Amino acid sequence: MAVVFEKTKGLTDKPFHYCPGCHHGIIHRIIAESMVEMGILEDTVSVASVGCTYNSYEYFACDAVQAAHGRAPAVATGIKRTLKDKIVFTYQGDGDLASIGTAEIIHAAARGEKITAFFVNNAVYGMTSGQMAPTTLLGQVTTTSPFGRDASYQGYPINVSELISQLTGAAYVERVCLTDFKNIQNAKKAVQNAFKVQQAGLGFSMVEFLSTCPTNWGKEPIEAMDWLKEKMIPQYPLGCFKGQDIDFKNLGQSDAEVKS
């Protein structure tokens, strides 16, 4: 028998500190697997942000820089402008990217910054214990919307992928989820597409992952996945919002290779 699945070398040996059933671990793994499979692990710099994944650099086996809350796209800009031939990605949650870091993500995308943002949307602040996020659904109960998010009082959720895809500088934007084998395979493909877009210098790329937060949602992991499918996907539909026409098969190869 041959090993057909084991933990990727793109991750360190350090066990994740994430709660049971949290999807961060799956997202970390498919990013790490993609770096290894695409041969870019040694040429990548990741940017960790603030939230549950503040120390993602302890898990990804690539070089890393830790950024202040919301500032990861600006930090990534500084790195990428300095290291033009390297791959640079940010890993940010919904509080980080869609609240305090809105200016940074919008302008990095608008500049067509050749970086990739991995955006984890679980509709809640995880690390600080379940406060309302910009992506919290209407009616969703959180520790700071204890009566359910009320549009007349707390406004509406932000659909980040749709927003970013309006910007010319954004070359590739896709929203995925991780609720089963097929969706995870799709998500991994999106990760690789995003890296390919960066390699080819097409512009800014982003993958939004709908993710569960069983702990702060107060749900069992399986129940949380069902809630994600039933409640989150209607608000945040899956799919590619930008870059549908890109020929990913031939992307990332030099022109000479494509011609031959």
Q: Which of residues 34-73 bind other proteins (CB under 8 A)?
A: 41-45, 47-48, 54-55, 57-58, 60-68, 71
Whole-number Å distance between alpha carbons of 35 and 91: 14
Q: Shortest gap between Cβ of 147 and other proteins (angstroms)?
A: 30
Considering just the CA atoms, what is the radius of gyration of the chain in Å?
Answer: 18
**CB 17: neighbour CB atoms within 10 A?**
13
The continuous run of DSSP H or E covering 188 comes out as helix 181-199
Tell me the per-residue interface mask from 6 to 25 with other proteins, x by CB under 8 A, - otherwise.
xxx--xx--xx-xxxxxxxx
Among residues 112, 148, 169, 221, which is the contact residue for other proteins, using CB under 8 A? Answer: 221
Among residues 31, 52, 75, 160, which is the contact residue for other proteins, using CB under 8 A? Answer: 75
Does 169 contact other proteins by CB under 8 A? no
Q: Shortest gap between Cβ of 224 and other proteins (angstroms)?
A: 10
User: Long-range CB contacts (< 8 A, 24+ apart) of 182-189?
Assistant: 183/238, 184/26, 184/30, 187/27, 187/30, 188/30, 188/33, 188/34
Applying CB under 8 A, the span of 100-108, 136-144, 152-160, 243-251 interacting with other proteins comes to 100-108
Among residues 122, 151, 177, 214, which is the contact residue for other proteins, using CB under 8 A? Answer: 214
Q: Which is nearer to other proteins, 110 or 138 (CB)?
A: 110
Q: Shortest gap between Cβ of 237 and other proteins (angstroms)?
A: 22
Q: Are strands 63-66 and 87-93 parallel, antiparallel or unpaired?
A: unpaired
Whole-number Å distance between alpha carbons of 77 and 80: 5
